[in-house]
Amino acid sequence: MRAIRFHGSGGSESLFCEEAPIPKPRDGQVLIQVHAAAVTPTEFAWYPTFHTPEGNARPFPIILGHEFSGVVAAIGDSNRDVRVGDSVYGLNDWFMDGAQAEYCLTAAASVAPKPATVDHTLASAVPISALTAWQALVDRAQLSEGQRILIHGGAGGVGSVAVQLARHKKAHVIATASAANLDFMTGLGADEVIDYRTTHFETVVRDVDVVLDTVGGETRDRSWGVLRKGGQLITIAADAEGVNQQRVRDAFFIVEPKREQLIEIGRLIDSGVIHPIVGAVFSMDEVRRSYAEKPRRGKNVLRISEGNRHGH
Ligand SMILES: NC(=O)c1ccc[n+]([C@@H]2O[C@H](COP(=O)([O-])OP(=O)(O)OC[C@H]3O[C@@H](n4cnc5c(N)ncnc54)[C@H](OP(=O)(O)O)[C@@H]3O)[C@@H](O)[C@H]2O)c1
């Protein structure tokens, strides 16, 4: 198969489009013929990119890009949930080879039917952002009607889903974004939008029930003061892992693949509640550009197979 492989040092300059063996599914796994896979540039700095789960150095080359949309090509054992030929979207284990290849392996429990109303390109950019937003707002915050939430980085991959999901939960949504994205935020359902480059959010926001921080650093540190008493801060920015404060560690989590949540998210997409957003779409040969060119909104996507062009 054709695969984008990372040869282990630096960043996107170490990505090569080359031939690689098609992996074979074991029990509990499925083989996906990938039609599109999203680009997550921060993977070059992640622990699982360079380590095994046991903490040893990971052998290179490896395949990045863990979220995808495609078709089930083979299954490792009889599985009630997935059949060969199903169109699915999902993500796979951070420690395994990813999906920037014509085929990838994943756990059957990590995929769900692709939302029918979007093509593979749009669907491939959904799993990480939408599962993260879901696990923050639904699992952790249990956001409910009338609550006030501040979402930092509302125009980003996670933020844009979080704004739509919070709106769906009938919360009062305050989002931070740069000037070019203010109307975009309102269009997604934000009640208030703050240009973080011109306004210190803590001068205009207070007593929120929940802060979702997708930015980290001083944005996170300045956010504690805008919570109401007993309010909750949730952060997903990886720099929280290096902070010694217990409250920061408690506020941080890492997204997990969950089939049931992908099914719910797919329903919200098909019913028009959540609109997936992608930046630019690139071919496999353009992979280095797909990492270098920061999208204005959403995530960049690699188109992997011909089937994607027809949205099958
Ligand atoms: N822990 C987890 O499980 C998990 C899961 C997913 C992502 N993440 C991490 O979460 C972060 C966000 O991911 P993403 O995919 O949403 O990123 P993204 O698509 O690159 O979006 C980042 C957004 O942050 C905004 N931004 C930058 N500086 C800001 C500031 N000071 N205040 C407010 N907004 C600011 C930018 O807005 P403008 O364009 O408007 O300037 C941009 O839209 C990344 O670090 C990613 O690695 C973690």
* Nearest-CA residue for atom 19 of ligand 1: 156
Residue 122 confidence (pLDDT) above 90: yes
**12 confidence band (pLDDT: 50, 70, 90):** very high
Helix (H) or strand (E) holding 120: helix 120-124
Tell how far the Cα of 148 is from the centroid of ligand 1, in angstroms: 20
In angstroms, the CA 235 to CA 211 distance is 8
Ligand 1 atom with the smallest distance to the CA of 159 is 16
C-alpha of residue 2 to centroid of ligand 1, in Å: 30
Residue nearest to ligand 1 atom 47, measured at CA: 42
pLDDT at 307 over 50: no
Instruction: State the pLDDT confidence band at 10, using cuts at 50, 70 and 90.
Output: confident
* 277 alpha carbon – ligand 1 mean position (Å): 14
pLDDT tens column, 232-253: 999 999 888 889 999 999 999 9
Atom of ligand 1 nearest to the CA of 135: 3
Ligand 1 atom nearest residue 219's Cα:
31
Q: Work out the mean pLDDT of the chain and round it to a whole number.
A: 95
| Tokens standing for residue 172 | 């009062």
- Give per-residue pLDDT as tens, 259-277: 999 999 999 999 999 999 9
* Percentage with pLDDT > 90 across the chain: 90
- pLDDT by residue (tens digit) across 283-301? 999 999 999 999 988 899 9
In this structure, the residue with its CA closest to atom 18 of ligand 1 is 156
- What three-state secondary structure class fits 136? helix
Compute CA distances 211 → 49, 194, 223, 268, whole Å: 29, 14, 7, 23
User: Quick one: pLDDT at residue 242?
Assistant: 87
Local structure of 196: helix, strand or coil: coil
- Give the integer Cα–Cα distance in Å for 56 and 41: 23
Q: Which helix (H) or strand (E) holds 288?
A: helix 287-292
Determine the atom of ligand 1 nearest the C-alpha atom of 152. Answer: 33
Nearest CA to ligand 1 atom 9: 237
Report the pLDDT averaged over residues 21-27: 94
Taking only the tens place, the pLDDT of each residue in 188-244 is 999 999 999 999 999 999 999 999 999 999 999 999 999 999 999 999 998 888 899
Determine the pLDDT at residue 312.
37
Among 135, 158, 161, 176, which is best to mutate for testing ligand 1, by the most ligand atoms less than 8 A from CB?
Answer: 158
**Inter-residue contact 135 to 261 (CB < 8 Å):** yes
From the number of C-beta atoms within 10 Å of its C-beta (0-12, 13-18, 19+), residue 2 rates as middle
- Which CATH entry fits the domain spanning 2-126+276-310: 3.90.180.10, 3.40.190.80, 2.30.40.10, 3.40.190.10? 3.90.180.10
> Taking the domains of the chain in order of start, what are their residue ranges?
2-126+276-310, 129-251
The label of the residue with tokens 């990505």 reads 15
Residues 6+ apart with CB under 8 A from 261: 131, 134, 135
CB-based contact 47:56 (threshold 8 Å): no
Q: What was the pLDDT predicted at 308?
A: 43
Tell me the CATH number for domain 129-251. Answer: 3.40.50.720
157 C-alpha vs ligand 1 centroid, how far in Å?
Answer: 7
59 class by beta-carbon count within 10 Å (0-12 exposed, 13-18 middle, 19+ buried): exposed
Residue 121 tokens, joined: 């390109």
- SS3 for 228? strand
Q: How far is the CA of 177 from the centre of ligand 1 (A)?
A: 10
Chain segment 32-74, per-residue pLDDT in tens: 999 999 999 999 988 999 999 999 999 999 999 999 999 999 9
Give Cα separations from 24 to 27, 74, 75, 105, 200 (angstroms): 10, 8, 9, 8, 52
Q: What percentage of the chain reaches a pLDDT higher than 70?
A: 97
Tokens at residue 146, please?
């009338």
pTM of the model: 0.95
Q: How many residues does the chain have?
A: 312
**Ligand 1, closest atom to CA 296?**
39
User: 227 C-alpha vs ligand 1 centroid, how far in Å?
Assistant: 20
What separation in Å is there between the alpha carbon of 158 and the centre of ligand 1? 7
pLDDT at 306: 56
Instruction: Ligand 1: list residues with CB < 6 Å.
Output: 42, 128-129, 132, 152-153, 155-159, 176-178, 181, 196, 214-215, 219, 236-238, 254-255, 299
| Cα distance between residue 18 and residue 33, in whole Å | 17
| Structure confidence at residue 310 (pLDDT) | 40
298/164 Cα distance (integer angstroms): 13
Nearest atom in ligand 1 to the alpha carbon of residue 132 is 5
